[in-house]
């Protein structure tokens, strides 16, 4: 449990470099956000924002499938280049062991998420047998997850740190409810959803929730299946969020893609609050902007602690 007013100390960004970094000029001494990063403000980006706003699940699924196909082609081209480099006996580009082109995005045959447009979702009823702790130290069941969701909806003062890491019972419907509760909750400070098979659709809803949430400080989404549209929605959330300090996005089964990486870099240039981020960025320019933004934010926090 964290004290809301107690300053925190974080390490610098942990970025996995999947390609040799390009030579970089010395960054500006003070303002990082002035570093130019060309981001394609295309209709595709606008579509991500509009889909998140409308919660149109069918449209989200179709958009994700189309973007996945384009992203797979981009990643396949990168792997072919890496293969040619290997065959030429040159130094190989480091790729995570768990890197895979296999997508685990929800298929169009899966039962759609039910989120009525005209009324807020009803908080799930907590089972009488749901007496588990607030962490994932013991195996969780569906009733436990429903209980945590109820606590989030009710702003339970005891639920400050929620750890669901490794819990693969989280359904798409529960993921949608979790995102909706997160947008309303004013108590939760740390949320760990690593290794929960969280997909792009749920990530888009969480990105939307970040735009309004003003209490969450730590969010762990590592080891999931978040694609480009999910990264863009999270970036949109970072442009508005002023409370989140730590964001973990490493080891996704899908690649973010250059366009999403540039969009995330633009968001980080504007965000002055994230002090730690774990993510694999292939685009050298975007990686440089994110690195410098994190360094800037840590310096600002260090100075504020000294002043206090």
Residue 124 CA to residue 134 CA, distance in Å, equals 17
Query: 227: part of which helix (H) or strand (E)?
Result: none
Q: What is the mean pLDDT of residues 285-305?
A: 93
Residue 160 CA to residue 187 CA, distance in Å, equals 6
First to last CA, the chain: 22
Predicted TM-score (pTM) of this structure: 0.62
- What three-state secondary structure class fits 239? helix
Higher pLDDT: 102 or 160? It is 160
Is 162:192 a contact under the CB 8 Å cutoff?
Answer: yes
Residue 202 CA to residue 193 CA, distance in Å, equals 11
The whole-angstrom distance between residue 274's C-alpha and the CA centroid of its chain comes to 13
Higher pLDDT: 162 or 82? It is 162
Residue with tokens 């100390």: 9
Residue 250 CA to residue 194 CA, distance in Å, equals 10
67-76, 196-205, 260-269, 293-302 — which is least confidently predicted? 67-76
Residue 63 CA to residue 18 CA, distance in Å, equals 27
Q: What is the mean pLDDT of residues 170-188?
A: 94
Query: What percent of the chain lies above the pLDDT cut of 70?
Result: 54
- pLDDT tens per residue, range 184-226: 999 999 999 999 999 999 999 999 999 999 999 999 999 999 9
Is 211:241 a contact under the CB 8 Å cutoff?
Answer: yes
Query: 149: part of which helix (H) or strand (E)?
Result: helix 142-153
Residues 6+ apart with CB under 8 A from 7: 301, 304, 305, 308
Count of CB atoms situated within 10 Å of the CB of 279: 24
* pLDDT score of 126 more than 70: no
* pLDDT score of 32 more than 60: no
Residue 203 CA to residue 63 CA, distance in Å, equals 14
pLDDT of residue 24: 52
99 to 20, 52, 224: CA distances (angstroms): 18, 27, 11
pLDDT of residue 116: 39
């Amino acid at each position: 449990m964290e004290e809301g007013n107690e300053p925190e100390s974080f390490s610098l960004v942990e970025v996995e470099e999947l390609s040799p970094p390009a030579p970089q000029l010395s960054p500006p001494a003070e303002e990082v956000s002035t570093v130019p990063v060309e981001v394609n403000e295309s209709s595709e980006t606008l579509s991500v924002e509009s889909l998140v706003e409308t919660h149109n699940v069918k449209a989200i699924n179709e958009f994700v499938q189309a973007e996945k196909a384009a992203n797979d082609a981009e990643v396949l081209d990168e792997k072919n280049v890496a293969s040619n480099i290997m065959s030429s006996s040159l130094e190989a580009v480091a790729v995570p062991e768990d890197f895979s082109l296999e997508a685990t995005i929800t298929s169009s045959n899966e039962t759609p998420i039910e989120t009525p447009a005209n009324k807020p979702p009803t908080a799930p009823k907590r089972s009488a047998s749901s007496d588990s702790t607030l962490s994932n130290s013991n195996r969780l069941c569906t009733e436990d997850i429903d209980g945590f969701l109820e606590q989030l909806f009710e702003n339970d003062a005891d639920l400050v740190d929620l750890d669901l890491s490794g819990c693969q019972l989280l359904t798409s419907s529960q993921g949608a409810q979790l995102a909706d509760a997160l947008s309303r909750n004013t108590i939760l400070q740390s949320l760990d959803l690593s290794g929960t098979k969280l997909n792009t659709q749920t990530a888009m809803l969480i990105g939307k929730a970040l735009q309004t949430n003003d209490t969450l400080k730590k969010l762990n989404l590592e080891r999931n299946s978040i694609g480009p549209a999910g990264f863009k929605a999270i970036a949109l959330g970072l442009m508005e969020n002023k409370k989140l300090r730590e964001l973990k996005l490493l080891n996704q089964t899908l690649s973010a893609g250059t366009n999403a990486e540039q969009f995330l870099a633009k968001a980080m240039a504007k965000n002055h609050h994230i002090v730690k981020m774990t993510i694999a960025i292939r685009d050298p320019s975007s990686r440089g902007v994110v690195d410098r933004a994190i360094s800037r934010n840590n310096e600002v926090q260090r100075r504020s602690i000294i002043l206090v």
